[in-house]
Amino acid sequence: MPKYKYSIQTDPDRSAKASARGIDVSRKAAREVCNTIKGMTIHKTIEFLEAVIDKKLAVPYRRFKNNVGHKSSVVGWASGRYPVKAATEILKVVRNLENNAENNQLQLDKCRITHAVTLQGTRQQGMFYRAHGSSSPKMRQFIHIELVAEVAEM
Protein backbone atom coordinates (compact mmCIF):
# COMPACT_ATOMS: atom_id res chain seq x y z
CA MET A 1 0.00 0.00 0.00
CA PRO A 2 1.45 3.38 -0.93
CA LYS A 3 2.24 6.06 1.61
CA TYR A 4 0.41 9.29 0.92
CA LYS A 5 1.47 12.75 2.03
CA TYR A 6 -0.52 15.94 2.18
CA SER A 7 0.18 18.59 -0.42
CA ILE A 8 0.41 21.31 2.25
CA GLN A 9 2.46 21.72 5.41
CA THR A 10 0.63 23.09 8.47
CA ASP A 11 1.16 23.72 12.16
CA PRO A 12 -0.16 20.62 13.99
CA ASP A 13 -1.11 22.69 17.06
CA ARG A 14 -3.48 24.97 15.12
CA SER A 15 -4.82 22.66 12.41
CA ALA A 16 -6.56 19.38 11.69
CA LYS A 17 -6.31 17.28 8.53
CA ALA A 18 -8.48 14.68 6.85
CA SER A 19 -8.27 12.89 3.52
CA ALA A 20 -9.93 10.21 1.44
CA ARG A 21 -8.01 8.21 -1.13
CA GLY A 22 -9.27 6.37 -4.19
CA ILE A 23 -12.80 7.79 -4.28
CA ASP A 24 -14.91 6.97 -7.34
CA VAL A 25 -16.63 10.31 -8.01
CA SER A 26 -16.43 12.90 -10.76
CA ARG A 27 -13.28 14.94 -10.31
CA LYS A 28 -14.89 17.96 -11.96
CA ALA A 29 -17.84 17.94 -9.57
CA ALA A 30 -15.57 17.32 -6.58
CA ARG A 31 -13.36 20.23 -7.62
CA GLU A 32 -16.30 22.61 -7.75
CA VAL A 33 -17.58 21.45 -4.34
CA CYS A 34 -14.10 21.85 -2.78
CA ASN A 35 -13.71 25.36 -4.16
CA THR A 36 -17.11 26.29 -2.76
CA ILE A 37 -16.45 25.03 0.78
CA LYS A 38 -12.99 26.59 1.01
CA GLY A 39 -13.10 29.34 3.62
CA MET A 40 -16.26 28.09 5.38
CA THR A 41 -16.40 26.97 8.98
CA ILE A 42 -16.85 23.26 9.64
CA HIS A 43 -20.46 23.55 10.83
CA LYS A 44 -21.43 25.78 7.91
CA THR A 45 -19.80 23.31 5.51
CA ILE A 46 -21.83 20.41 6.93
CA GLU A 47 -25.06 22.40 6.59
CA PHE A 48 -24.18 23.38 3.02
CA LEU A 49 -23.34 19.83 1.92
CA GLU A 50 -26.52 18.43 3.48
CA ALA A 51 -28.53 21.09 1.59
CA VAL A 52 -26.77 20.08 -1.66
CA ILE A 53 -27.60 16.41 -1.03
CA ASP A 54 -31.25 17.38 -0.43
CA LYS A 55 -31.12 19.52 -3.61
CA LYS A 56 -32.02 22.73 -1.80
CA LEU A 57 -28.81 24.62 -2.62
CA ALA A 58 -26.82 24.35 -5.84
CA VAL A 59 -23.05 24.33 -6.14
CA PRO A 60 -21.80 27.12 -8.42
CA TYR A 61 -19.84 25.81 -11.38
CA ARG A 62 -17.10 28.30 -12.12
CA ARG A 63 -14.73 26.41 -14.42
CA PHE A 64 -16.65 23.47 -15.88
CA LYS A 65 -19.77 25.46 -16.81
CA ASN A 66 -20.37 24.69 -20.49
CA ASN A 67 -23.94 23.49 -21.04
CA VAL A 68 -24.73 23.79 -17.33
CA GLY A 69 -28.16 25.14 -16.48
CA HIS A 70 -28.78 28.23 -14.37
CA LYS A 71 -29.97 27.82 -10.80
CA SER A 72 -31.71 30.48 -8.72
CA SER A 73 -30.07 29.34 -5.46
CA VAL A 74 -26.56 30.13 -6.72
CA VAL A 75 -25.40 33.50 -5.41
CA GLY A 76 -22.95 35.45 -7.54
CA TRP A 77 -22.81 32.89 -10.36
CA ALA A 78 -25.38 31.82 -12.87
CA SER A 79 -24.62 28.17 -13.57
CA GLY A 80 -24.80 25.43 -10.97
CA ARG A 81 -25.63 21.80 -10.28
CA TYR A 82 -26.45 19.40 -7.48
CA PRO A 83 -23.49 16.95 -7.35
CA VAL A 84 -25.03 14.57 -4.83
CA LYS A 85 -22.43 11.79 -5.06
CA ALA A 86 -19.47 14.15 -4.71
CA ALA A 87 -21.14 16.05 -1.87
CA THR A 88 -21.85 12.79 -0.02
CA GLU A 89 -18.22 11.67 -0.19
CA ILE A 90 -16.88 15.10 0.77
CA LEU A 91 -19.35 15.23 3.68
CA LYS A 92 -17.79 12.04 5.05
CA VAL A 93 -14.35 13.68 4.91
CA VAL A 94 -15.68 16.86 6.58
CA ARG A 95 -17.16 14.82 9.43
CA ASN A 96 -13.80 13.06 9.80
CA LEU A 97 -12.13 16.49 9.83
CA GLU A 98 -14.52 17.61 12.58
CA ASN A 99 -13.61 14.59 14.70
CA ASN A 100 -9.90 15.19 14.11
CA ALA A 101 -10.30 18.83 15.17
CA GLU A 102 -12.06 17.74 18.37
CA ASN A 103 -9.29 15.23 19.01
CA ASN A 104 -6.68 17.99 18.56
CA GLN A 105 -8.68 20.11 21.06
CA LEU A 106 -9.37 22.92 18.59
CA GLN A 107 -12.31 25.30 18.92
CA LEU A 108 -14.77 24.22 16.24
CA ASP A 109 -16.44 27.63 16.07
CA LYS A 110 -13.19 29.23 14.92
CA CYS A 111 -12.00 26.45 12.59
CA ARG A 112 -12.13 27.35 8.91
CA ILE A 113 -11.33 25.11 5.98
CA THR A 114 -8.19 26.60 4.48
CA HIS A 115 -7.20 23.81 2.12
CA ALA A 116 -9.77 21.81 0.13
CA VAL A 117 -8.40 20.10 -2.94
CA THR A 118 -8.99 17.13 -5.19
CA LEU A 119 -6.04 15.32 -6.69
CA GLN A 120 -5.81 12.83 -9.50
CA GLY A 121 -5.80 9.27 -8.23
CA THR A 122 -5.23 5.91 -9.82
CA ARG A 123 -6.81 4.60 -12.97
CA GLN A 124 -8.44 1.25 -13.47
CA GLN A 125 -8.86 -0.26 -16.88
CA GLY A 126 -12.11 -1.86 -17.92
CA MET A 127 -13.60 -2.97 -21.23
CA PHE A 128 -16.53 -1.86 -23.34
CA TYR A 129 -17.75 -4.98 -25.10
CA ARG A 130 -18.80 -4.25 -28.68
CA ALA A 131 -20.62 -6.04 -31.43
CA HIS A 132 -19.08 -8.89 -33.44
CA GLY A 133 -16.74 -9.95 -30.63
CA SER A 134 -14.68 -6.76 -30.44
CA SER A 135 -14.09 -4.53 -27.44
CA SER A 136 -12.74 -1.09 -26.57
CA PRO A 137 -10.84 -0.05 -23.44
CA LYS A 138 -12.31 2.32 -20.87
CA MET A 139 -10.54 3.92 -17.96
CA ARG A 140 -12.07 4.64 -14.56
CA GLN A 141 -10.54 7.67 -12.85
CA PHE A 142 -10.33 7.80 -9.06
CA ILE A 143 -9.57 10.91 -7.01
CA HIS A 144 -8.05 11.87 -3.68
CA ILE A 145 -9.64 14.49 -1.44
CA GLU A 146 -7.64 16.53 1.09
CA LEU A 147 -9.10 18.92 3.66
CA VAL A 148 -7.28 21.05 6.22
CA ALA A 149 -8.94 23.24 8.84
CA GLU A 150 -7.06 25.86 10.83
CA VAL A 151 -8.05 28.01 13.76
CA ALA A 152 -8.40 31.63 12.68
CA GLU A 153 -6.38 34.00 14.81
CA MET A 154 -8.36 36.79 16.39
The string of pLDDT tens digits covering residues 85-101 is: 999 999 999 999 999 99
Residue 114 one-letter amino acid: T
Average pLDDT of the chain to the nearest whole number: 92
Rounded Cα distance, 73 and 58, in Å:
6
Q: Is the pTM here over 0.95, yes or no?
A: no
**CATH for 15-151?**
3.90.470.10
Alpha carbon distance 30, 143 (integer Å):
9
pLDDT of 2: 78
Q: Report the candidate in 5, 33, 15 with the shortest Cα–Cα distance to residue 104.
A: 15
Instruction: Describe the chain by its helix, strand, coil percentages, rounded to 5.
Output: 30, 35, 35
